[in-house]
């Protein structure tokens, strides 16, 4: 069996474990969703762009409440989070046309969670060949656009959904 390492993630995970403030709670406290990279606010959860993405368009869904335990989270939070994952996939399909997705939770530090105290779901669009030698050899990730461009591309889709919810 061959193993592929992701050494560029180690510094982020170590930093996240030492953080006193939750990145999701901090993002919610800011008044500027564009600065926080929050794309959508539901009743119980929000959609945010990952600041340390695996690929362009890497989104996360997190509850407003600071909850570590997914399995004991209230049903309405989990139900809406699942609906927002579905919405994010539909929007990413329209805007980026990926060939597949990784969707999931990393619960606990041994499972790879960079933020252990506030559960969140990852939606990672995937394309053939999006994993290459650059991260391993050059410890560099290559993206087709920066985070602000991703925000500007996706926000209109989420804004249309927000208007639908208001009706």
> Are 44 and 77 contacting, i.e. CB atoms less than 8 angstroms apart?
yes
> Are 131 and 6 contacting, i.e. CB atoms less than 8 angstroms apart?
no
Active-site pick, 58, 66, 120, 122: 120
Among this protein's residues, is 120 annotated catalytic? yes
Residue numbers annotated as active site: 120
């Amino acid at each position: 069996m061959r193993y592929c390492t992701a050494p560029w993630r180690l510094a982020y995970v170590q930093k996240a474990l030492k953080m006193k403030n939750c990145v999701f709670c901090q993002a919610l406290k800011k008044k500027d969703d564009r600065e926080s990279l929050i794309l959508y606010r539901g009743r119980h959860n929000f959609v945010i762009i990952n600041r340390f993405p695996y690929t362009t368009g890497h989104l996360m869904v997190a509850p407003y409440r600071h909850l570590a335990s997914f399995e004991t989270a209230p049903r309405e939070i989990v139900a809406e989070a699942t609906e927002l994952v579905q919405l994010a996939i539909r929007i990413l399909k329209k805007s980026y046309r990926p060939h597949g997705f990784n969707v999931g939770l990393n619960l606990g530090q041994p499972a790879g969670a960079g933020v252990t105290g506030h559960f969140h779901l990852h939606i990672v669009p995937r394309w053939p060949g999006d994993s290459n030698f650059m991260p391993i050899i050059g410890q560099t990730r290559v993206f087709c656009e920066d985070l602000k461009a991703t925000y500007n591309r996706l926000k209109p889709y989420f804004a249309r959904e927000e208007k639908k919810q208001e009706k």
